[in-house]
Chains A and B, each alone.
Chain A
């Protein structure tokens, strides 16, 4: 048969058997709604966990040189910054207190962090210019504390032994939010107490921790505190695996149950329309074409059911504030249609095995 003739016959048969066509569409729509309402929600939850994991705060790795061995320095920082799994790395020295040099050592104190690496990773410059070594930037929120209207003048340590010209103001960036409460001083050649690394992805945690520790090579592991998202990443992975496992077994269950129903409806239809099938066989349709008509018929109604079901399921989730990923919604519709077409195959093959002579002899 020509493809167009075959499709036309299948479509005519779809219309002719409205009840079973509607039943197939309803079953497939039900499969889609059930899958999206259950598995879709856990898919949305997984996507949510994954998105949260990838926020900068969760991708942060911190190493503290508690025994002041000096392994956090310009050299190690340079190596670590260049690791492919590292988005940014910066190091802070031991903070000290300072006051506005103009009001003397008696004024309000703010903490000052020496910064080894790039200032731009720590904060966004809001006024003035980036500091040269030995120059300071003040957090925009601390200008008033020091009685300043403009980031000018200089900072002086509380013991009065050192001073730092103020050249600008900044707002702190993640993961350096704690630096909003003070000032920073560029000191590229110093040693750091604290190394803060932002990873490209939580998934790279384990390898990056190993590479960072290799670079730092501390003599005494007792003096090193490592704070990494490894445990968090593992929890997220476990959670995602659990959700995925639960989701795929639930999805198979839904597809299996819906497929069985479709198979039952198609089989009932084949039995009711025996005489139609017997006539077609007698008039010379091949088994392959007859199988195709039965399957195309089921698939056509399944597509309609899937469109309705996916739309309804997506809207239902949307109504309770959960947006099912579109790719998942489409995949459910495609899977449900394939399941229905596959389910129609055994009854279709059965239809071609009916003996036309027996069928046509039966009045």
Chain B
């Protein structure tokens, strides 16, 4: 099992109720899992915890069977760079750089040189129909294109885990479909464990498994 949580509990340091009440779950490898539930139940919080940015108050996040949520900051940062891909609600591309540089960013953090991964990055863009956008700035592409670029960035290091927080939240149906297609491909064709926090019924209709918080 690539990704799992065990007896997870979390409470934000400053006040707030306890979340997840001892959730245990094995996320199916090569499949899409949606996390859904009413607002404020901790969908985003769970994603950040799976992304090793928050440490559970109790319980563990396991990667390949190893508890990693309490590892040192350096180890967690390296795992994020090499093993985990992030897609935010807003694409979060660096507005000052060409989109090709944004897509290459996680590769640099994982210890690659730009030149070593440039061809891969271009291939990804082409595969997602964005080949002619490489030299644009984020301000020069549409919201849907930006979000697909963000998916490319998350895919570049061939992560075993992809985390997406409301990835279709700001998109119309057509663009939402394209982004979701990309995530489905990441799971089914590339074998990533994809976890999506969402309350979009359209997304829920296309995932393999749903966790209702």
A residues contacting B by CB (< 8 A) are 1-2, 4-5, 8-9, 12-13, 15-16, 275-276, 279-289, 356-357, 360-361
User: What residues of A have a CB within 8 angstroms of the CB of B78 in the complex?
Assistant: 284, 286
Contact B86 A283 (CB under 8 A): yes
Chain B residue nearest to A284 in the complex (CB): B81
B44 at the interface (CB under 8 A from A): yes
Q: Which of B87-128 contact A (CB under 8 A)?
A: 88, 92, 94, 96-97, 101, 105-106, 108-114
Whether A9 touches B96, Cβ cut-off 8 Å, given contacts A284-B78, A361-B44, is: no
Contact B73 A287 (CB under 8 A): yes
B82 at the interface (CB under 8 A from A): yes
B80 at the interface (CB under 8 A from A): yes
Other-chain contact of A1, B74, B82, B94, B109 (Cβ < 8 Å): B109
Contact A283 B105 (CB under 8 A): yes
User: What residues of B have a CB within 8 angstroms of the CB of A279 in the complex?
Assistant: 92, 94
Q: Which 8 pairs from chain A and chain B are nearest by CB?
A: A284-B81, A16-B96, A284-B80, A5-B108, A284-B109, A286-B77, A285-B109, A283-B106
Stretch at the interface among B35-43, B47-55, B58-66, B186-194: B47-55
Chain B residue nearest to A9 in the complex (CB): B108
Contact B53 A2 (CB under 8 A): no
Contact B84 A284 (CB under 8 A): yes
Chain A residue nearest to B159 in the complex (CB): A284
Contact B96 A282 (CB under 8 A): no
Query: How many interface residues does B have (CB within 8 Å)?
Result: 31
Chain A residue nearest to B44 in the complex (CB): A361
Q: Can you report 25 A-B residue pairs in the complex whose CB atoms are below 8 A from each other?
A: A2-B112, A2-B113, A4-B114, A5-B108, A5-B112, A5-B114, A8-B114, A9-B108, A12-B96, A12-B97, A12-B101, A13-B96, A15-B96, A16-B97, A275-B92, A279-B92, A279-B94, A281-B53, A282-B80, A283-B153, A285-B109, A286-B73, A286-B78, A287-B73, A357-B53
Contact B81 A283 (CB under 8 A): yes
Contact A357 B48 (CB under 8 A): yes
Chain A residue nearest to B97 in the complex (CB): A12
User: What residues of B have a CB within 8 angstroms of the CB of A360 in the complex?
Assistant: 88, 92
Chain B residue nearest to A279 in the complex (CB): B92
Considering the chains assembled together, what is the distance between the CA atoms of A15 and B97 in angstroms?
Answer: 10
User: What residues of A have a CB within 8 angstroms of the CB of B84 in the complex?
Assistant: 284
Considering the chains assembled together, what is the distance between the CA atoms of A2 and B111 in angstroms?
Answer: 6
Whether A284 touches B113, Cβ cut-off 8 Å, given contacts A15-B96, A356-B53, A357-B48, is: no
User: What residues of B have a CB within 8 angstroms of the CB of A283 in the complex?
Assistant: 80-81, 86, 105-106, 109, 153
Chain B residue nearest to A2 in the complex (CB): B113
Contact B81 A282 (CB under 8 A): no
Whether A4 touches B113, Cβ cut-off 8 Å, given contacts A12-B101, A276-B94, A283-B106, is: yes
Contact A1 B77 (CB under 8 A): no
Query: Shortest distance in angstroms between B48's beta carbon and chain A's nearest beta carbon?
Result: 5
User: What residues of A have a CB within 8 angstroms of the CB of B74 in the complex?
Assistant: 286-288
Chain A residue nearest to B76 in the complex (CB): A284
Contact B54 A285 (CB under 8 A): no
Considering the chains assembled together, what is the distance between the CA atoms of A1 and B114 in angstroms?
Answer: 11
Query: Shortest distance in angstroms between B104's beta carbon and chain A's nearest beta carbon?
Result: 9
Query: Shortest distance in angstroms between B71's beta carbon and chain A's nearest beta carbon?
Result: 13
Chain A residue nearest to B84 in the complex (CB): A284
Considering the chains assembled together, what is the distance between the CA atoms of A360 and B81 in angstroms?
Answer: 17
Contact B53 A282 (CB under 8 A): yes
Considering the chains assembled together, what is the distance between the CA atoms of A275 and B51 in angstroms?
Answer: 17
Query: Shortest distance in angstroms between A230's beta carbon and chain B's nearest beta carbon?
Result: 64
Considering the chains assembled together, what is the distance between the CA atoms of A276 and B97 in angstroms?
Answer: 12
Query: Shortest distance in angstroms between A352's beta carbon and chain B's nearest beta carbon?
Result: 9
Considering the chains assembled together, what is the distance between the CA atoms of A357 and B77 in angstroms?
Answer: 13
Knowing that A4-B113, A284-B82, A284-B106 touch, tell me 14 more A-B residue pairs with CB under 8 angstroms: A1-B109, A2-B111, A2-B113, A4-B114, A5-B108, A9-B108, A13-B96, A275-B92, A283-B153, A284-B78, A285-B81, A286-B73, A288-B74, A357-B54
Query: Shortest distance in angstroms between B146's beta carbon and chain A's nearest beta carbon?
Result: 13
User: What residues of A have a CB within 8 angstroms of the CB of B114 in the complex?
Assistant: 4-5, 8
Considering the chains assembled together, what is the distance between the CA atoms of A13 and B81 in angstroms?
Answer: 20
Query: Shortest distance in angstroms between B182's beta carbon and chain A's nearest beta carbon?
Result: 18
Query: Shortest distance in angstroms between A213's beta carbon and chain B's nearest beta carbon?
Result: 71
Considering the chains assembled together, what is the distance between the CA atoms of A357 and B101 in angstroms?
Answer: 23
Query: Shortest distance in angstroms between B47's beta carbon and chain A's nearest beta carbon?
Result: 10
Considering the chains assembled together, what is the distance between the CA atoms of A347 and B48 in angstroms?
Answer: 25
Contact with A along B176-212 (1 / 0, CB 8 A): 0000000000000000000000000000000000000
Query: Shortest distance in angstroms between B112's beta carbon and chain A's nearest beta carbon?
Result: 8
Considering the chains assembled together, what is the distance between the CA atoms of A360 and B54 in angstroms?
Answer: 13
Query: Shortest distance in angstroms between A289's beta carbon and chain B's nearest beta carbon?
Result: 7
